Amino acid sequence: MKKFGLCRGRHEIRHKNEVVNDFIFNNEVNPLDVNGLEQIALETLSAIDNNEPVALYVTGLSVALIAVVNAAIKLDQELTLYHYDRETGDYYPQKLAITGEICPFCHQPHGSGWYCKHCGSC
């Protein structure tokens, strides 16, 4: 699973004794540029192996989070959001449910198209 923090510099992200060093947004974010944020998210998610699920550690800034969720849906990218629990000091998961068809061969969701990214069937 490829791990990302949402925005660099907002918080140190440490989960299960591992520090997350990769971020979707590495520079200062302009919350008014929703199209630009989504473009950055699309480019970042497109650069990883499509079969590798993504863990996203949410550090606030809803507009940036929605840009990543929109990009994941467009790319049919498996995405699990990790939210911080102030009481335990740890993160808990929330899987993004991408609607779409289930491949009859590998039984994985593959979106609304005819090609399955998981097993390659059409």
Question: Could you list the pLDDT tens digit for every one of the 122 residues in the chain?
Answer: 899 999 887 777 877 878 889 999 998 889 999 999 999 999 999 998 766 899 999 988 899 999 999 999 888 889 999 999 999 988 999 998 775 566 777 776 665 566 777 777 76
Query: Is 0.95 topped by the overall pTM?
Result: no
Using DSSP, state whether 65 is helix, strand or coil: helix
Q: Does any domain span residue 105?
A: no
Q: Does any domain span residue 76?
A: yes
**Domain count of the chain?**
1
Q: Does any domain span residue 51?
A: yes
> How far is it, in rounded angstroms, from Cα 110 to Cα 101?
6
Side chain identity at residue 91, one-letter code: Y
Sheet architecture: strand order including 90-95? 23-25, 2-7, 54-57, 79-85, 90-95
Range of the domain at 57: 2-95
Q: Does any domain span residue 89?
A: yes
